[in-house]
Amino acid sequence: MTGVRATPESELAPLLAAWDDAHPGACDDHDLEWRHLLDEMAHPRTTQAFYRLAASAGS
């Protein structure tokens, strides 16, 4: 991921909280996909850690 600027974990947290407030109990696949995407954006370091873990487990 060259050239990608990771934002601080807390910078996008308000966006994630707003999504959760606007979609309480969202259960259809479309809403869950968007929620997952926003979660990855709000927590880039956590997402990167999971990618590293998956890569190390696969080798």
pLDDT at 56: 92
Write the pLDDT tens digit of every residue in 36-54: 888 887 778 888 888 898 8
Q: What is the mean pLDDT of residues 8-16?
A: 72
pLDDT at 41: 78
Residue 42 burial (C-beta neighbours within 10 Å; 0-12, 13-18, 19+): buried
Write the pLDDT tens digit of every residue in 18-41: 878 887 776 677 777 887 888 887
Q: Could you tell me the pTM of the whole model?
A: 0.49
Whether pLDDT at 2 is above 60: no
Tokens of 40: 């990855």
Domain limits of the chain? 13-58
